[in-house]
Structure 1
Amino acid sequence: MRLRDRETETVLADMPLNEGTLHSTRRSFVKFGFEIWRGGQKIFAHDLDLRDRDVRIDMSLGALGDHLAWIGQVECFRLEHQCRLTCVMKAPLAALLRDAYPFIRMVTPDAEDGTLYYASYKVCVFYNDENGIYQPVDYRLAGLTGTAAHILGQAPREIRPRLSDIASTPPLDEPYVCIATQVSGQAKYWNNPHGWREVVAFLKQQGLRVVCIDQKPVAGHGIVWNSIPNGVEDQTGNRPLAERAMWLKHARFFVGLSSGLSWLAWAVNCPVVMISGFTQPFNEFTTPWRPINRNVCHGCANDPRHQMDPKDYLWCPRHRGTPRQFECTRAIEGQHVIDMIGTLMTEIS
């Protein structure tokens, strides 16, 4: 039996096989071709061809930002291969995207029907994949969009996702901005203790209402907890994503962190001020309003020397337990963010 990568014409395996199976360790997209020989004569050959085939892509382990970063790559994959595509995803994300992608069958993990798929792929951020079995390019070097593109054999490119219909009537009559201050790990927070207070005060001085659309007013782990800023209008709660998208669609702009709500704001063309020192800018979508302080430690999330531990809420691989812990965002000053907001307001006025 002979197995090869038809794109690079690399022979991956060439071996006698009397019983059992032959398979590649690669779990990302490869244009496989295989041949069966007997007595020096080729008796069977098949090259992977997804056209008019049932294909499954599972990205159900991803969060909000992951789905929004990946769905454009998934649609490009469908268009390139002209396959019948089923995408497994979380229910709230399927509800947000299903009507905008009518040619992708979206199902939740508990609703799969046993369809026999010609090919199946998993799109996810794979930690500890040192041999590149699941993702051909390390997630720390690929960025969130690039991770899906590489797994699916696509050229990495930033593709703004389409969303299902969003309410066209603004929720407020007065001009407002949205903010979101909660994230999934302490390194992603804006750890400057005065930052949000200063920014909220500035926004109000500009005559803007400030609406917080986080899911939770208080979030954290163990002995570390974070509250939304004083003085904001509290629209927190476990609301439908379509409602969050509606708030963002009509906002003057959004101020947030490296989180799913920043991706949702980007998806609805809301200008985004993203405060992040934990990730490098290439990890997320492009925004010209991204305050970052490169004079201190930063970017550990995209440093291949450090393997992220998503279960460690206080993960800080270089300075944990020292006075420099989380300095990547503690050193982003409120005035730095305010100056960037001022530039944004000038550009959109």
Structure 2
Amino acid sequence: MSEVSNNPVSSASEAAPVSAETTATGSSTATESGSPGIQAPPLVPTQAGPAGIRYDFNDGCRITLPEGDGEWHVCIRDTGTGNTLFETRLAAGGVASSKKYFVPFEFTVSSQGKEVLRHRLDLSGREVLIHFPTGTLGDTIAWFPYAVKFERQHQCRLTCVMGEALIPLFRETYPSIRFLTSAQAEPSQYYATYNIGLFFNDEANAYQPCDFRLVGLHRTAAYILGVDPEEARPRVALADDSRPIEQKYVCIASQSTTQSKYWNHPGGWQALVRFLKEQGYRVICIDQKATHGSGIVWNHIPYGSEDQTGDIPLVERARWLKHAAFFVGLSSGLSWLAWAMETPVVMVSGFTHPVNEFATPYRVINYHTCNSCWNDTRVQFDHKDFLWCPRHAGTPRQFECTRLITAEQVMDTIRRIPGFPTSPALAA
């Protein structure tokens, strides 16, 4: 967000004065989907203080000050570290912290040597908004447990904004949390707002205290919200949790949003499906799309799998996953949903480092090839480039991170799952 002022600041600081008329237009940083993922705050801070002062924590710490009898003196502190983050004098206007993630702020406003207002951030009983980018499945499932920790830690009245399709997964299980879509949220009613996302260009760490590529996709929400980063599953409620078919079965999902996420080994999926069927499993493909790609590159669900693709509610996908013997997928949303349903997940991924996703003993990666570019802070993911491969694009090594993951390596990983048959004869 551009921060402008008629009152120059000579010292380096954690905040910058802003005009009271300045509107928030979002961040230049972007989420994986390319959407800014930022809930713009209301033009005027939502909380009223004495002497016409207004403040809130809907875009970091924001304070607006009317014209008075003299200069205002504003000081913003971090009570967790004891550091003074910012200090300035101005006749009128506004101040906004540069840090937009959770910080235990305290600020004071003085005039003519007298303290007019001292306020310490206290979320207890307050209306608080956590905004998740819409259009993401795995990211929201990964991040939501940290919102639950946040609500419990602060005892606030929490509203979560997320994609409409995900709300049925959580609404019944977390009755103390209010779930809304972006269109339903009214920013002016909140004391504080926190935006969760993957901020690629956040070199100043304004929206995240540390780069998400270093701590993992899911744990970045913990750092943004200031809660314990220990991994936790969300609880999912199913109105119908019956078994969809009597026979034993495995769920798979072979599609993703960019080619680097695919398992690019030629014939790998077909060999795997044949192997699973030989062991007596029905193989159910639960991708949303049977065919996906861009330009001249298109991917089809594996031959021999049973097609359960389509715009099916996520709760129905969750029902299939709950009763599956295990799930085989990629670093994508359905793997996160399978993890949430406590189904063993065999994850085939080379472009992400294992720290990026939830812990699974069945992670498949080949360290003998180029790998983990997604978590390399030296490269920039381009969500518009379906064939993104930052190190080897256009060369024979493109997508080698998964092209050199063999079907046998995946099969050997599956053989380690408890209860998996050791021979076709045992599958009868």
Length-normalised TM-score, structure 2: 0.80
**Could you tell me how far 1:43 is from its partner in structure 2?**
2.8
CA contact 2:126–2:156 (8 Å) conserved in 1: yes
Match of 2:177 among 89, 92, 104: 104
5 Å-filtered alignment, 1:227-306, equals: 227-306=300-379
Provide the residue aligned with 1:22 in structure 2: 95
- Provide the rounded CA distance (Å) in 2 between the counterparts of 1:115 and 1:103: 21
SS in structure 1 at match of 2:183 = helix
Instruction: Give 1:176's aligned residue.
Output: 249
Per-residue deviation at 1:112?
2.1
What residue is the counterpart of 1:158 in the other structure? 231
Matched residue SS, 1:37? strand
Give, in whole Å, the separation in 1 of the partners of 2:168 and 2:241: 18
Shift of 1:23: 1.3
Give the C-alpha shift of residue 346 in structure 1. Answer: 4.5
Using the TM superposition, give the Cα deviation of residue 311 of structure 1 relative to its aligned residue in structure 2, in angstroms. 1.5
The one-character-per-residue Cα deviations of 1:23-63 (angstroms, maximum 9, x if unpaired) are: 10111011111011233332321111011111111103361
Partner of 1:33: 106
- Partner amino acid for 1:29? F
In structure 2, what is the equivalent of residue 344 of structure 1? 417
For residues 217-273 of structure 1, what are the alpha-carbon distances to aligned partners after superposition, in whole Å with 9 as ceiling and x for unaligned? 000111110000100111011100011001000110000000100001011110000
Q: Give unmatched runs, 5+ long, in structure 1.
A: none
The separation in 2 between residues aligned to 1:147 and 1:348, in whole angstroms, is 38
- Partner residue in 1 for 2:69: none
Distance of aligned partners of 1:287 and 1:99 in 2 relative to their CA distance in 1, 3 Å threshold:
same
Distance (Å, rounded) in 2 between the aligned partners of 1:114 and 1:300? 37
Native 8 Å contact 2:285 2:305 kept in 1: yes
Could you tell me whether the CA contact under 8 Å between 1:177 and 1:210 is conserved in 2?
A: yes
Does the CA contact (< 8 Å) of 1:28 and 1:136 recur in 2? yes
The Cα offsets for residues 311-330 of structure 1, whole Å up to 9 and x where unpaired, read as 21111110011000000000
Matched, 1:307 2:380: yes
TM-score by length of 1: 0.97
Residue 57 (str. 1) matches residue 130 (str. 2): yes
C-alpha contact 1:7 1:31 (8 A) present in aligned 2: yes
Tell me by how many angstroms 1:121 deviates.
Answer: 1.0
Percent identical among aligned pairs is: 52
Alignment check: 8 A CA contact 1:61 1:124 kept:
no
Whether the 8 Å contact between 1:145 and 1:157 is mirrored in structure 2 is: no
Instruction: Supply the AA of the counterpart residue of 2:89.
Output: P
SS in structure 1 opposite 2:85?
strand
Q: Is contact 2:270–2:302 with CA below 8 Å preserved after alignment?
A: yes
1:7–1:348 distance in 2 versus 1, CA, 3 Å:
farther
Pick 1 or 2: higher relative contact order, CA cutoff 8 A, min separation 6: 1
Structure 1 residue matching 2:76: 3-state secondary structure: strand
| 1:318 aligned partner, one-letter code | R
Could you tell me how far apart the structure 2 residues matched to 1:203 and 1:314 are? 30
Aligned to 1:212: 285
Q: Give the stretch that moved more between structures: 275-284 or 39-48.
A: 39-48
Q: Is the 8 A contact 2:101 2:194 kept in 1?
A: yes
Give the drift of 1:114.
5.3
Write the distance in 2 (CA, Å) between the matches of 1:346 and 1:209: 16
Larger gyration radius, structure 1 or structure 2: 2
- Greater helix content: 1
Which of 130, 133, 149 is the matching residue for 2:222?
Answer: 149
3-state DSSP class of the match of 1:187? helix
Q: Which SS does the other structure have where 1:226 is aligned?
A: strand
Deviations 1:152-185 (A, max 9, x none): 1112111101112253321111100000000000
Q: Which amino acid aligns with 1:260?
A: G
Which AA in structure 2 matches 1:7? G
Please, which moves more after superposition, 9-18 or 175-184?
9-18
Contact 2:161–2:180 (CA under 8 A) maintained in structure 1: yes
Closer/same/farther in 2, CA of residues 114 and 156 from structure 1, 3 Å limit: closer
Residues 182 and 33 of structure 1: CA distance in aligned 2, closer, same or farther (over 3 Å):
same
- Counterpart secondary structure, 1:73: helix
Total equivalences in the alignment: 349
Moved more, 296-305 or 42-51: 42-51
Name the SS of the counterpart of 2:283 in structure 1.
strand
Over the aligned positions, Cα root-mean-square deviation in angstroms equals: 1.4
Is 1:137–2:210 an aligned residue pair? yes
| Contact kept in structure 1, 2:414 and 2:420, CA below 8 Å | no
1:94 aligned partner, one-letter code? I
1:92 alignment partner in structure 2: 165
Which structure 2 residue ranges, 5 or more long, are not aligned?
Answer: 1-73, 423-428
> Structure 2 CA distance, aligned partners of 1:60 and 1:261?
17
